[in-house]
Amino acid sequence: MPRTLVMTARCSLCRLLIGLLACLTVVSTVASARDYQLPSIGQPADAYMSPAEEDKIGRQVVAQLLERSLIIEDVQLREYFTSIGTRLAEHTSSDASAFRFYPIDSSQINAFALPGGYIGINAGLVTETETESELAGVVGHEMAHVTQRHIARQIEATSGMGWATAAAILVAAIAGGGDPDAISAAVTAGVSNLGQQQTNYTRAHEFEADRIGIRTLAAADFNPDGMASFFEKMQRRSRLYGNQLPEILLSHPVSNTRMAEAESRAKDYPSPSVRESDAYLLMRERARVLMSRQLGELVRYYEQRRADADDGQPSAAIDYGYALALSRIGRNAEAAQILAPYVEQNPDSKAFTLALADAYSQAGDTGRARDMLEAARRQFPRSPAVKLDYARLLVDGNDPEAARAFLMQDRDLLGQSSEAQQMLAQVAGQQNNLGEAYYRQAKYYELRGAFAPAINQLRTALQTADLNAFDKARLRALLDQMVRACHSAWSERECREQVTADARY
């Protein structure tokens, strides 16, 4: 089974925390009509946990997910999730910049919201949806947990649970790797007597997130029935499994009451103007390919789907997924042959263009790949996926000067993309510029919230590398910056412990 996060695939363990933790999922908690007594919004939670403190918790957890390779680091998929979130955010009380979306490397059907607007969406959930509105319903539900400050309100309701303790429990849950003893120990250390009040709060939060999410769906021109149809699908699945429910359904049952409430809310928007993107079906297959560990089986899956297609004409999405799967097993020439007609027929499709350019590149036809990516840069000038694919082609093609010049001109990309920083480190290594290589690799770690390896690497460089006076001064300044950032992200004590632990390996 693919690696999974305790807050997703093992979320039944997280339910020990009742409603405190970030296991605020789209398919959770049986509820009844009497539970729809919403707690007050705003001031109590604002006073108890500031937005900065919420963001601190979320960043800590994301850093742990990245460290354990539990986030799918695919720029295209994340770009697509962000496009959905941005469209929804335009109809919420928050700006789009308040949210960050991450594809989670899990086949389980789940999603979660972390404090600070960090939202994880399992690849398995994406492949389970049938329309973009269903996927948007999941995203809108999780965004509502963020805008309504549900985690802060839950902590406030515990009368004594501080943000630092909440962060420690979240991190312990991740570090425990799903081990019940580790999580139970963390819970026992930080929480006691949560009681029925918190259970009721959690149920109310789920109803509130449903209500607000459906309203946002309709306002953003998605189908407001998307959330209800997803609930119905989960309920059908529950009936199929009978008493032998898989863990995800045991921990996240879908009730008749909740589904009926969602359907009723959707009827408040009787004539929705539904607008769904062409990218959805392609990104659904991309998620399927990226989470797969059995590539041979995946190729056979697509071959069967193509064989079963009406009139022998498989859908564009199935061919796209098949081509991606072929590329992953080294059959790049075949993948390019499948993709080329789609690029010609769909010149505005970024997904097909990047897939074909990658297939050409992997097959050794770097000239054609470069031509395609240069054209894509002009067509999609703001796309990080296009920029990074182009930079990677330059790096892999032994053109370090061009790669460095291209990356250095884009400050926004360097400030947001750890991959861009790592490519600059690789280029500096190719040019025997040790000071620059150490600097960029430390910036790579910083953008991932991995301050301990950044600090240790800079210390090693200053102690052992043959550096000139400029590089030494530059790396010392960066080291001081990293230490301050580490103390701010965690605490001075926790930072020291992490640096010490990292130095052992």
pLDDT at 228: 85
Identify the weakest region by mean pLDDT among 61-70, 132-141, 172-181, 373-382: 172-181
Taking residues 265-270, report their average pLDDT.
87
Q: Tell me how far CA of residue 26 lies from CA of 29, 296, 301, in angstroms.
A: 9, 32, 28
CB count within 10 Å of CB 86 equals: 15
| pLDDT beyond 50 at 184 | no
pLDDT at 352: 98
Highest mean predicted confidence (pLDDT) among 6-15, 28-37, 146-155: 146-155
pLDDT at 256: 75
Residue 105, domain extent: 11-266
Q: At 8, is the pLDDT very low, low, confident or very high (cuts 50, 70, 90)?
A: very low
3-state secondary structure of 300: helix
CB count within 10 Å of CB 315 equals: 14
Inside any domain, residue 42: yes
| CA distance linking residue 344 with residue 269, whole number of Å | 39
The per-residue pLDDT for range 143-169, each reduced to its tens digit, is 998 998 877 677 666 555 555 566 566
Inside any domain, residue 76: yes
Inside any domain, residue 234: yes
**Contacts made by residues 381-385, CB under 8 angstroms, sequence distance 24+:** 383/79, 383/350, 384/75, 384/79, 384/413, 384/416, 384/417, 385/75, 385/76, 385/79, 385/350, 385/354
Where b means 16+ CB within 10 Å and e means fewer, 175-185 reads: ebebeeebbee
Inside any domain, residue 153: yes
Inside any domain, residue 124: yes
Inside any domain, residue 81: yes
48 closest CA partner among 148, 146, 158: 158
Taking residues 83-105, report their average pLDDT.
95
| CA distance linking residue 373 with residue 66, whole number of Å | 28
Token look-up 């950044």 returns 454
pLDDT at 235: 74
The per-residue pLDDT for range 346-371, each reduced to its tens digit, is 999 999 999 999 999 999 999 999 99
Q: Tell me the average pLDDT of the chain.
A: 82
pLDDT at 178: 45
Residue 284 · residue 127 · CB < 8 Å: yes
pLDDT at 114: 84
Token look-up 């072929």 returns 326
The per-residue pLDDT for range 330-350, each reduced to its tens digit, is 999 999 999 999 999 999 999
- Give backbone dihedrals phi and psi of 251, rounded to 5 degrees, phi first: -85, -15
Rounded to two decimals, the pTM is 0.85
| Amino acid letter for position 287 | A
Number of independent structural domains in the chain: 1
| pLDDT beyond 80 at 100 | yes
Pairing mode, if any, of strands 100-104 and 111-114?
A: unpaired
pLDDT at 298: 98
- Helix %, strand %, coil % of the chain (to 5): 70, 5, 30
The one-character DSSP state at 343 is H
Token look-up 């190719």 returns 430
Q: Which residues pair with 102 in a beta bridge?
A: 120
3-state secondary structure of 352: helix
Inside any domain, residue 377: no
- Angle subtended at Cα 475 by Cα 470 and Cα 481, rounded to the nearest 5 degrees: 130
Sheet holding 118-122, edge to edge: 100-104, 118-122, 111-114
pLDDT at 307: 95
Name the percent of the chain lying above pLDDT 70.
Answer: 77
The per-residue pLDDT for range 300-323, each reduced to its tens digit, is 999 999 999 988 789 999 999 999
CB count within 10 Å of CB 410 equals: 15
Token look-up 């190729």 returns 299
Inside any domain, residue 455: no
Q: At 2, is the pLDDT very low, low, confident or very high (cuts 50, 70, 90)?
A: very low
Taking residues 256-271, report their average pLDDT.
84
Residue 113 · residue 98 · CB < 8 Å: no
The per-residue pLDDT for range 446-489, each reduced to its tens digit, is 999 999 999 999 999 999 989 999 999 999 999 999 999 999 99
